[in-house]
Amino acid sequence: MITLGEIALWLALPISAWGMVLAFAGGRTQRGDLVLSAERSVYASFGLLVVASLGVVAAFVQDRFDYWYVASYSNRELELFFKISGLWAGQRGSLLFWALLLAFFSALAVFQNRNKNREFMPYVTGTLQGIILFFVVVLLFAEVNPFEKLGFTPANGQGLNPQLQNYWMTIHPPTLYLGFTAFSIPFAFGIAALMSGRLDSRWIQLTRKWILVSWFFLTNGIIFGMRWAYEELGWGGYWFWDPVENASLLPWLTATAFLHSIMIQENRGMLKVWNMALLILTFLLTVFATFLTRSGLIESVHSFAENTTIAFIFLMCIVSTGLLGAVLIVWRLPELRSENKIHSFLSREAAFLFNNLILLAAAFAVTWGTLFPLLTEGLMGEKIAVGPPFFNRVNIPIGLILLALMGIGPVIAWRKASRKNLVKNFAMPTAVGLGTLVGLYLAGIHHRLALITFATSAFVMAIIVTEFWKGTKARARIEGEGFMKAFVHLVARNRRRWGGYIVHVGTVVVFTAFAGSAFNREVRQIMEPGETVEIQSALGHTYTLRYVGISSSTSPTRNMSQWTALMMVDKEGEDLGGFTTEKRWYPVVEMLVTEVGIRSFFLEDLYIILDSVEDLQGMAANEASSQRATFKVKVNPLVGWIWYGGLIITLGALISMWPSRGRMPRVPKAAAVSEGTAEPATA
């Protein structure tokens, strides 16, 4: 199976190259047989990459430590589940996994369009095979082949970092990768539109679902990563503006911008060049993020030199694709002219445009901050870094503007908003926002940015709720339906719009949660068993934690020793029971891991970290020993709202994406012309 997998990976090289060349050739020469052959090669690539991936999984399951990749990320004791997920535990497997997911989506896209949209398909197929080819080349020739052998067989592997042995960490990378790879499909259609010359909004209509799918996975991937950091990294936060986190945020920012700006193109025929540029940029950022995630590039240009081949190939690919995209856009410039122009700043177009600029500004600031040490090192010879304070300073104002736009954009009129439109839509929400501001201020919340965030959130929520209310009421009246039924039908009839609003609700909840971090409290205290520590929540009440003691145990099956500290919690006389925080020792990988204790309430989390223990070794040997230890206790308001908000976003995105079967198509089908295959490819 393993050898078979390796052979399959090699076979994928000529197959994808063949498919790419044939598809483009077929597209230019209008030869259906070539295109058909190319499309079939996509299925073949997918099949081969499945076999290759199974080969890697088989190597993991059979403990084949003579393979470098298996020896580095597994050992005999590892649970089967983590052996299988070893496929994406490291860079080598991740690249294969990326290619596999891409091939899957490609095969799906080709299958969906086997009888339609034929004017796009040659170029779509060619582009997708080109990306697959690129990843196969990287896998085979950039010193990252997962089938590389060590030359000897170690008795056991090095095991998987215990911090990665967590549910969220197992699903976080694949979710992100699904988001990254799904974006290749709209990218391929965009390129196809440029190459074929069919530059109306057809390609956007065709790929809208794909864009949503990609955005959906990206968003969830990022939230899963935050969840993992919060539960596993043990410093009580969920986002650190780490280069790797930033790399996953960048394509999300541009994809979000794209998701909004295509609506302008669909409705007003504007921003065609901009959309193409955003599309290409987002795609390149997904590739960049994949590459960056597990390379040392960001740390220093020096460590960058360690694996030059892969860095070189990736950067060459990104630069050349970017240039190629630019050339294509310039070539089609006359056909990408705007059909309309912006009449007023007080219009939906302007609000959307502003949203785009702001999102891109955020992407720019994040890139700048991330690459800053590299830039200063390269230009001045001295490394100067910016940390979380920089990202927060720049991105908080940007985030607040975005938040406000989330309320304004959907209800402001197209073309030019009249005074009446403005008063009608914004008077009440503004009042709600101001009321929240004053109310919270009087309630004792004086943190400026948090106040602004809460007030803006209230403003946006008021707008969205009003929209739902008005829509439901109108429907209930016109159709004579009950209120609940009318509500469900309202959403079902225009899933894209109302699903989008629900996503906005979730986003508002998440933003509110971010602002909650302004009120984090923490205490670090050395304690003997029996002693108590008090911490006051921002909500005013006090938690009293009594340290009971530490018990130690060894679990041979899981191959670890653990020390569990028990705390009894009391909230103003109310007994909340006990909760624990642990130190775990994994002898095989020789790693000490802290497991934090989290008690989640609706409005805040109580978070405890066992910092260090005076005599861990003595306890392990069951000697009477000191249990003096130091704990960090945190109260993190509103953290739970990130996860709730994430669920609301997921729900909204699912509603938007849900296929509408058997209903009247909202977009009149321009497809009549595109149903045939023999349509000339160039206009």
Partner 1 sequence: MPNNGRFFVGLIGVGLVVSYLVWTGVSDTMIYYLTPTEMMAKVSEDPSFHQIGLKVSGRVVKGSYTQSEDFEHHFEVMDLDDEAVRFPVVFRDVLPDTFTDEVEVVLEGRYRDDGVFEAATVLTKCGSRYEAAPEEMVG
User: Which chain residues interact with partner 1 by CB under 8 A?
Assistant: 158, 161, 163, 233-235, 273, 299, 337-338, 341-342, 345, 350, 353-354, 357-358, 361, 364-365, 368-369, 372-373, 382-387, 389-390, 393-394, 397-398, 524, 526, 585, 587, 589-594, 609, 611-617, 630, 632
Q: How far is CA 377 from CA 64, 371, 398, in A?
A: 42, 10, 28
Closest to partner 1 by CB, 26 vs 369, is 369
Residue with tokens 């006051």: 536
Closer residue to partner 1 (CB): 179 or 369: 369
| Ranges assigned E (strand) in 63-144 | none
Nearer to partner 1, 385 or 434 (CB): 385
What tokens were used for 186? 């709209």
Nearest distance, CB of residue 138 and partner 1, angstroms: 21
- Give the span between the Cα atoms of 315 and 287, in whole angstroms: 10
Whole-number minimum distance, CB 628 to partner 1, in Å?
9
Min dist. Cβ of residue 548 to partner 1 (A): 19
User: How many C-beta atoms surround the C-beta of residue 227 within 10 A?
Assistant: 21
Residue 560 φ/ψ, nearest 5 degrees = -155, 160
Write out the two tokens for 441.
């201020």
> How long, in residues, is the chain?
683
The least distance separating partner 1 from the CB of residue 302, rounded to whole angstroms, comes to: 10
Cβ 369 vs Cβ 425: under 8 Å: no
In the bound state with partner 1, the residue whose beta carbon lies nearer, of 30 and 166, is: 166
Report the residue number, 143 or 299, with the smaller CB distance to partner 1: 299
CB of 82 vs partner 1, minimal distance in Å: 16
Q: Which residues contact 122 (CB under 8 A, 6 or more apart)?
A: 23, 24, 26, 27, 34, 35, 38, 192, 196, 681
> Which residue, 104 or 235, has its beta carbon nearer to partner 1?
235
Report yes or no: 547 and 530 within 8 Å, Cβ to Cβ. yes
Choice between 97 and 241, CB closer to partner 1: 241
Which residue type occupies 634?
Answer: K
Q: Give how far the C-alpha of residue 188 lies from the chain's centroid of Cα atoms, to the nearest Å.
A: 20
**Considering beta carbons, is residue 337 or 669 the nearer one to partner 1?**
337
* Min CB(24)–partner 1 separation in Å: 30
Residue in 340, 337, 365, 366 with CA at minimum distance from that of residue 352: 340
Token pair, residue 133, equals: 């080819």
The smaller minimum CB distance to partner 1, of residues 288 and 391, is found at: 391
Q: Label residues 365-397 b or e (16+ Cβ within 10 Å = b).
A: bbbebbeebbeebeeeeeeeebeeebbbebbee
- In the bound state with partner 1, the residue whose beta carbon lies nearer, of 8 and 289, is 289
Ranges of H-type helices in 161-242: 167-182, 184-196, 202-228
Q: Could you tell me which residues come within 8 angstroms of residue 102 by beta carbon, excluding any fewer than 6 positions away?
A: 128, 131, 132, 135, 181, 184
Q: Terminal CA-to-CA distance of the chain, rounded, Å? A: 49
Shortest CB 592 distance to partner 1, Å:
6
